[in-house]
Amino acid sequence: MNRKLVNAIANRDGAALARLSDGHQSNNQPVVNENAEKLVNALFRQLKQVFPAATQTNLRNESDEALAKQQWIAAFAENGIRTKEQLSAGMRYARASENPFWPSPGQFVQWCKQGSIQNSGLPDESELYDMVMTYSAKRGLYDSPEHYPWSSHACYWMVTKLYSQMMGLNLNESELHKRCKQELISMSRRMESGEQIPEPRVQLTELHIPTSNERALDHLAEIRRKLNLKPQNNPVANTQQ
């Protein structure tokens, strides 16, 4: 990275950043490829129809729109949004949105990811969470996880992995929801890349999952509470009494 740019960022020098930006543009050094620019240009035309008030707020002039497009292109590059199908999935959520305001790049990226998950035939986050809970309650009725009635190969791999994490790490509801979201994004990317998700097969049982010191102390405190034991702050002093 250019040292002048590094110094400008470190010093939060907006004027210097603007000069550097102008210099890059004048030298015809595009920040992104032409395909990304075309996708965002087409997307903005569609979004203006869905959120017409943006021309009076976020996109009042060409300069505002050009700066906004740079941020959107950067957000897409950072989050792997690069196809028309992904943008179309995001637009479905945009058209269904009850919020009249222009979405942020981050919000639209989430819409694209959620749409990609649906396009892959995967459950949404809440449905996957419910699948884990149902599997947890009924898994004992089957000889093995492979004999459980899975709706798809992908669900087998996601649910068994999440169940193992839930039990091994003692995840609470919010923690499990977060991991469901991460697992769906990971699986949808695998499927979008053309990977064939393998059928259920016997997995090696993970006999030990390390527990953090903090969580281990929480477990110990919980056991003491259940047994009505008082914490021993000074074992040496207690021995001498």
Please provide the DSSP assignment of 12-66 as one string: T-HHHHHHHHHHHHHTT--SS-HHHHHHHHHHHHHHHHH-GGGGGTT-SSHHHHH
In a 13 Å sphere around the CA of 89, the CA atoms on its Cβ side amount to: 19
Q: What is the pTM of this model?
A: 0.52
Structural domain total, the chain: 2
Examine the domain organization and report whether 99 and 144 are in the same domain: no
Examine the domain organization and report whether 90 and 41 are in the same domain: yes
Examine the domain organization and report whether 81 and 42 are in the same domain: yes
Examine the domain organization and report whether 94 and 148 are in the same domain: no
Residue 148 lies in a domain: yes
pLDDT for residue 180: 96
Examine the domain organization and report whether 133 and 177 are in the same domain: yes
pLDDT for residue 194: 80
Find the domain containing 142 and state its range. Answer: 125-193
> What is the radius of gyration, based on Cα positions, of the chain?
26
The last residue of one of the domains, among 153, 170, 193, is 193
Residue 89 lies in a domain: yes
Examine the domain organization and report whether 39 and 99 are in the same domain: yes
Residue 56 lies in a domain: yes
Sign of the torsion formed by the C-alpha atoms of 216, 221, 222 and 228: positive
Examine the domain organization and report whether 97 and 144 are in the same domain: no
Examine the domain organization and report whether 95 and 149 are in the same domain: no
Residue 234 lies in a domain: no
- Each of the 241 residues of the chain gets a pLDDT tens digit; together they read 456 555 555 555 545 545 545 444 444 444 445 677 888 999 999 999 999 887 777 788 888 889 999 999 988 888 888 888 889 989 999 999 888 889 999 999 989 888 878 777 889 899 999 999 999 999 999 999 999 999 999 999 999 999 999 999 999 999 999 999 999 989 988 887 888 899 998 766 554 455 567 776 776 777 777 677 766 554 444 444 4
Residue 93 lies in a domain: yes
pLDDT for residue 141: 95
Examine the domain organization and report whether 132 and 187 are in the same domain: yes
CA pair distance 199, 156, nearest whole angstrom: 8
Examine the domain organization and report whether 95 and 45 are in the same domain: yes
